[in-house]
Amino acid sequence: MHKYLIFIFIVFTGLLFSCQNKEEEIRKELNTGNKMWYDGDENGALTHYERVLELDPKNAEAIVLIGNVYYQWQKYDDAFKYYSLAIETDSLYGIAYKKRGDIHNLRKDFSKKCADYKKADALGVENLTNLIQNCP
């Protein structure tokens, strides 16, 4: 019985540290990608954001950041797909609605723009007053 408890403790401890290490690696990849983004290296940033998705395919933050790279490159259809994927992954990730609303605005689809901006506002995204003031 004693050996069995030790075995369970070792397995549990290993899993716990493995999860912590994975979270640390994800945060490191996001931070490195963000630094590269701010330094103007979108390709480098994209590499790090994609690495996050290898570690955690449901990381809405990384999904939105990949969308931002495509938005910067004016590949709006690709950006839209990533923002929508982020919403599918985490329906409470407000910034994804805001970013998708930006693309609806570019496409002059004002009803969808308003719907996304209002949802982002309801989820706590700040500074949307000017963007939703003319929405019904």
Question: What's the whole-number average pLDDT of the chain?
Answer: 91
As for how many domains the chain has, the answer is 2
Does residue 78 sit in the same domain as residue 35? no
pLDDT per residue as tens digits for the range 81-112: 999 999 999 999 999 999 999 999 999 999 99
Model confidence at 113: pLDDT above 70 = yes
Residue 23 lies in domain = 1-57
DSSP 47-105: HHHHHHHHH-TT-HHHHHHHHHHHHHTT-HHHHHHHHHHHHHH-TT-HHHHHHHHHHHH
Does residue 134 sit in the same domain as residue 73? yes
Q: Pick from 57, 72, 91: which residue ends a domain?
A: 57
Overall pTM > 0.95: no
Structure tokens at 59: 């990381």
Does residue 25 sit in the same domain as residue 65? no
